Every structure is written in structure tokens, then in C-alpha cells.
Structure 1
Amino acid sequence: MDNYQIPAKTRIGHVHLKVSDLQRSLDFYCGLLGFELMQTYGDQAAFISAGGYHHHIGLNTWYSKGGNPAPVNTAGLFHTAIVYPERKDLAAIVIRLFDAGYPLTGASDHGVSEAIYLDDPDKNGVELYWDRPRDQWPLDKNGQLEMYTNRLDMEGLLALAK
């Protein structure tokens, strides 16, 4: 193999999820998380976004209508990660989830970011997080990035929402 490197400004544009019930998924992603419905494709697919982009998430029932969640111990998507612009924005969605009684599956401080974890109605993993400024990322003694998984300071996070 040669030394090809993907361009630094490359980004992941969207995720497209197979879901079993389109309306239930729209209730979660739009109704609870606050995404905007941009377009539907009949009663089989929907495209949603933040800020009016054509779509960040596609949802479809083409092969999965009425289906069961994928088994945990098989290959597939671990989670979709949604990045919030600021820590206070993450705090606001955590309060919204708590107020709705929606269960979290985890919460972590990764050094570079703070994240909460939950499952959508089809048991697709969802990570909601914000990135710390790059100059605050943890480095080892050689100046290399050193991420970790520590307990999230939930009290400190939630204090921002008050």
C-alpha cells in the first residue's frame, strides 16, 4: 500500500438507518431530539436535519418495516454520533431527555469530548456529545493524543442548563 491519506477536510455527511416504524423514529429524532423533517419519500423514508441541511439522518423501512432490532453480538453499526456545538447545548438535550423519562445507556468523559449514550426505538445506539476545544485535548508525555473513558461530571453539565 502507498501512503495515501484522506484529505483533512473530509467529513462524514450523513447516516441512513433502517428502522421498523417510520413514525416512531420521527417521534424520537424530531419530536424528542429536535431534528427538522426535510422530506418524506412516501411512507417508507424520511430525511431529517439540523439547521436546514438537506439531511443528516435518513430513516427508511425499505427492508426493515415491522422488523426486530439487530442482535447486539453481530457486526453492524455501534452508534451514530451527534455533535452539539457547545457544552450548554449538550446539557439542554440531557435535561430534555430526563424530563421525557427517556433512558440513557451511559455517560462518559473522553478527554476530547463529553458524551451521553442512549438507544433509539430500534435499539440503534446514539451518542450525543460536544468536543472540547482542541487545545484542551489530553496529550501524553510525547505530545500524542490520549483519550480515555472516565465518569462524566453530570452535575457540572446539568448546572449549565439551569
Structure 2
Amino acid sequence: MSAPIHPAVRIGHVHLKVSDLERSLAFYCGVLGFELTQRYGTQAAFVSAGGYHHHIGLNTWESRGGKAPPRGTTGLYHVAILYPDRPSLADALHRLIQNKIPLDGASDHGVSEALYLHDPDGNGLELYVDRDPSAWPRDASGELAMTTEHLDLEALLAEAPVQS
């Protein structure tokens, strides 16, 4: 077996094929709050948090007017968007509720708390916050023991920043 990948490697950005760029920008910028960093006419746009060049690329190069792939086919399961803290995830939940975006699920995994949904093109999204590694559940031998439990959405919402 080869040596493991360098521990500092990170996934930097994702490009999503979308059918309607304006609708996707309304969702990613208008609902989730990402900022538009660059646009290529009606074909592509790049959005980010905190001024990074882009976390998400949205493009219609091969998908303008297209349909989401049918269930039971291969492809991307979801993109996971890591929030810095629980109040920020609570703010994301508040934004989804305000915009009537339904959740597919919400789970407490022991290591993280997560909201699951789909964007307007059917791309799966996980919005989540990690717990401090010192609080991660471990079994008797010290191995990670992730779980899938119910996430209390009311308790999460209680931590949302005050909306003006």
C-alpha cells in the first residue's frame, strides 16, 4: 500500500453543472449568502465566502436547460459546505426557512451537525459544522464512532444571530 496523502491537502472548490445560471445565482447568493466573485456572461459564475476566488463554480457549458440525472445513476452525491460555528449553521437554516427551501434531512453525526437539501438543479448539498475533535465519539479501542441521530432544529435555530 502506498503512503497516505499529505494531511494538509484540502478540497478547494467544486464546479456544478446547472441548467439556469440566474436561478442558481439566486439560490447560492440570494438564499445561502455566497458572494459573486466573477461572471462569464450567461455561461458561468463563481461564488465564494470571505473573498476567496471561488468555492463554487456554476456553469451551463454542458447543461443549459438540462434536467437533473435520474435517481439510481452515478454522479456526485452531495457537496458539503463547512460552516465555522453553530450560529453560522443556524443562520443558514434560518435563510432556508425564510426562502421556503425544504430540507431532505438533518442529522447529528457525533463529529458534526448537518442539514441536507438539494439546490434548484437537484445537486445534493450538506451544510454542516464540525464539533471539536476532542468531543468526537470514540469506541472502547479509541476508533472514531460516528453516529446518525436526530438533529434538534429548534435548538439549532435558537443559536441563529438576531436578524435585522
SS at match of 1:63: coil
Is 1:5 aligned with 2:4?
yes
Counterpart-to-counterpart distance in 1, 2:138 and 2:92:
29
Report the aligned-residue RMSD: 0.9
SS in 1 for 2:114: strand
Report the equivalent of 1:118.
117
Once residues 50 and 80 of structure 2 are traced to their aligned partners in structure 1, the CA distance between those partners, rounded to angstroms, is: 17
| Unpaired runs of at least 5, structure 1 | none
Offset of residue 121 of structure 1: 0.3
| Secondary structure class of the residue paired with 1:29 | helix
Q: Which residue of 2 aligns with 1:151?
A: 150
TM-score when normalising by structure 2: 0.96
Residue 102 of structure 1, CA deviation: 1.1
Q: Aligned AA for 1:33?
A: L
**Percent of matched pairs sharing the same residue:** 63
Partner deviation per Cα, 1:39-70 (whole Å, 9 max, x = no partner)? 01121000110000000000000010000011
Output the CA distance in 2 between the equivalents of 1:25 and 1:155: 28
The aligned amino acid for 1:16 is H
Q: Distance in 2 between the 1:17 and 1:101 partners?
A: 22
Structure 2 unpaired stretches of 5+: none
2:101 — aligned with what? 102
Aligned to 1:157, what secondary structure does the other structure show? helix
1 CA distance for matches of 2:56 and 2:49?
Answer: 9
User: How far apart, in 2, do the equivalents of 1:102 and 1:60 lie?
Assistant: 22
Q: Which is further off, 83-92 or 94-103? A: 94-103
3-state secondary structure, aligned to 2:28: helix
Deviation, 1:154, is 1.4
Deviation at 1:106, TM superposition (A): 0.6
Number of aligned positions between the proteins: 161
Deviation (angstroms), 1:107: 0.3
TM-superposed deviation, 1:138:
0.5
Q: How does 1:1-162 map to 2 (within 5 A)?
A: 2-161=1-160
